[in-house]
Amino acid sequence: MQIDLRTVSITPLRQTYNHIADYLGADKAASRYVEATMGVQGTTNFHYRPTWDPEREMFDERRTAIKMKDWYVLKDPRQYYYGSYTQARARMQETAEADFDFVESRGLADSYDDSARRAALDFYIPLRHVAWGGNLNNGYQSAYGYGTAITQASLYASMDQLGVAQYLTRLGLLMGNESELEAGKHAWMNAPAWQPLRKYVEDSFVVKDWFENFVAQNMALDGLLFRLAYKEVDKHLNERAGPTVSMLTRFPAEWFPETSKWVDAVVKATAAESAENKVLLEKWYAHWVARAQEALAPVAQLALGEEAGEALARVRAQLDARMAKAGLAV
């Protein structure tokens, strides 16, 4: 018996799926992100219209005043699909857990300056409720938005905001006890300094246009709040009592600049689509960023005292520069 071994070169008939080839061309291999994103939005076979909104389909581009020829241009520069997103967050969580373990094992929370501890708890614990609002708003954008490119990224941001709330909860438990969580809730519901921010968050819940909701939450509020909380206030506490709080807030501090890359990419692509989009984004941004700055002023005063005005002005200037770079006239 004779066996002949031969090498056969097999050329694939196509490099990717048909609906991906419509975007890339048939001869180009797609990344995992592209395969999980492009062409996934449901567009046909909607048998019933929503009873709460019978004028529109279940997934409908008309739920925002923003107009796009192709919603898939709002791609995430981080290239997050579910697999890459969970891997990235697992690495961040490992680092955050190590920080919490270090603070607890070395007794750093117990030896932290009492007055600085009080200032940190009074400022950071009510922010759990702001993060919960961010969870709801990004969930709304994911549910009512159009195009998987933006809706899946909004869903990830929604889960991340829940993670921020959880880490702030753990900060309260480590530097205090369960009573600090109740005190933070009471401050959020009743303390005068927190009511303008609470009103901002609750007003954002009833913004029906999901893209305007994106502006109110991800551009205006987060753009000011995260730099205020995890740069300005963090620096203030560091100088006062050391880096313990910085270690316990590493997750939100590192999450914000990473997520800002996605927010800026969405703004840039949307503004570049048309003059009408650009004007609308500028109008929404001007309205919501002014409201956010006003709402954060008494909270900044609570944490920074007489330095609050300058700190908030720096944060606003940095955000305006970001939006200008993304193509808005601010």
Q: Are 120 and 243 in contact (CB under 8 A)?
A: no
Q: Does 3 fall in a domain?
A: no
Rounded-to-integer distance, Cα 151 and Cα 213, Å: 13
Tokens representing residue 302 in the block:
């609570």
Q: Does 221 fall in a domain?
A: yes
The amino acid at 174 = L
**What residue spans of the chain are helical by DSSP H?**
18-24, 32-37, 82-105, 114-124, 127-144, 148-175, 178-190, 195-204, 210-214, 222-227, 233-241, 244-248, 250-273, 275-304, 308-325
The CATH number assigned to the domain holding 85 equals 1.10.620.20
Residue 45: CB partners within 8 Å, gap ≥ 6?
Answer: none
pLDDT score for 106:
96
pLDDT score for 2:
76
Rounded-to-integer distance, Cα 216 and Cα 165, Å: 19
Q: Does 69 fall in a domain?
A: no
Q: Does 5 fall in a domain?
A: no
pLDDT in tens, the chain (330 residues): 677 777 888 777 677 888 888 777 777 888 899 999 998 898 888 888 889 889 999 899 999 999 999 999 999 999 999 999 999 999 999 999 999 999 999 999 999 999 999 999 999 999 999 999 999 999 999 999 999 999 999 999 999 999 999 999 999 999 999 999 999 999 999 999 999 999 999 999 999 999 999 999 999 999 999 999 999 999 999 999 999 999 999 999 999 999 999 999 999 999 999 999 999 999 999 999 999 999 999 999 999 999 999 999 999 999 999 999 999 999
Q: Does 29 fall in a domain?
A: no
- Burial (0-12, 13-18, 19+ Cβ within 10 Å), 281: buried
Mind spelling out the 3-state secondary structure of 136-202? HHHHHHHHHCCCHHHHHHHHHHHHHHHHHHHHHHHHHHHHCCHHHHHHHHHHHHHCHHHHHHHHHHH
Residue 173: CB partners within 8 Å, gap ≥ 6?
Answer: 180, 181
Q: Does 319 fall in a domain?
A: yes
Domain boundaries, position 158: 75-325
> What's the pTM value of the predicted model, to 2 decimals?
0.93
Q: Are 39 and 147 in contact (CB under 8 A)?
A: no
The structural domain count of the chain equals 1
Q: Does 14 fall in a domain?
A: no
Q: Does 35 fall in a domain?
A: no
Nearest to 266, CA basis, from 91, 74, 25, 11: 74
